[in-house]
């Protein structure tokens, strides 16, 4: 039983029973979650910004950092576990995209991240079956490979499933 821990801009996957894929403290960042019922593989990307054009060097070094590069990178990784490279058959879930630091709602990074991720998913003919986006609180996300469950937590709130 292990954990695949993802930081900001990281992406990872596992199909090892007993493993968890986890990321901490999503604020304006958005977690893109892929679950493949056929191969029992789960994958996640911790996306920080919507568009890689602002820093092509960072995008090539850490493609999970940007919405437009995270989706193809995660699909490529999932394909190494036997999942369809174009995302066919994957269950998609999204969470995060909160407004935790921008009290005046000036930059709307969370909303922009969520929209950019949806746009990137649509290019593959994919869409989320469930989402927990927005609000003004951070989220920690844990995906259980064995159960195929996505559990969210936030300080002062009971855990909930997505």
Could you give phi then psi for residue 156, rounded to 5 degrees? 80, 5
Asked if 29 is an active-site residue, the reply is: yes
Q: Taking the alpha carbons of 97, 64, 90, 127 in that order, is the dihedral positive or negative?
A: positive
| Residue entry with tokens 């054009």 | 53
Q: Of 81, 88, 17, give the one whose Cα is nearest residue 43.
A: 81
Residue among 4, 29, 95, 141 flagged as catalytic: 29
Sheet with 130-133: strands ordered across: 11-14, 41-47, 30-36, 91-96, 130-133
**CB distance 78 to 126 below 8 Å:** no
CA distance to 19, 66, 94, 142, per residue, from 154 (Å):
21, 24, 16, 12
Tokens of 9: 């801009």
Catalytic residue list: 29
């Amino acid at each position: 039983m292990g954990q695949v821990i993802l930081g900001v801009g990281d992406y990872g996957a596992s199909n090892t029973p007993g493993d968890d894929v986890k990321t901490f403290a999503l604020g304006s960042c958005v977690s893109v979650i892929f679950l493949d019922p056929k191969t029992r593989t789960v994958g996640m990307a911790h996306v920080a910004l919507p568009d890689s054009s602002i820093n092509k060097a960072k995008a090539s070094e850490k493609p999970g950092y940007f919405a437009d590069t995270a989706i193809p990178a995660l699909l490529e990784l999932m394909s190494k576990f036997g999942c369809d490279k174009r995302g066919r058959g994957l269950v998609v879930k999204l969470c995060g995209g909160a407004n935790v630091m921008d009290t005046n709602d000036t930059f709307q990074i969370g909303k922009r991240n969520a929209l950019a991720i949806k746009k990137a998913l649509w290019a593959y003919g994919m869409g989320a079956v469930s989402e927990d986006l927005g609000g003004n609180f951070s989220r920690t996300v844990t995906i259980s490979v064995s159960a195929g469950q996505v559990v969210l937590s936030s300080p002062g709130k009971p855990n909930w499933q997505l």
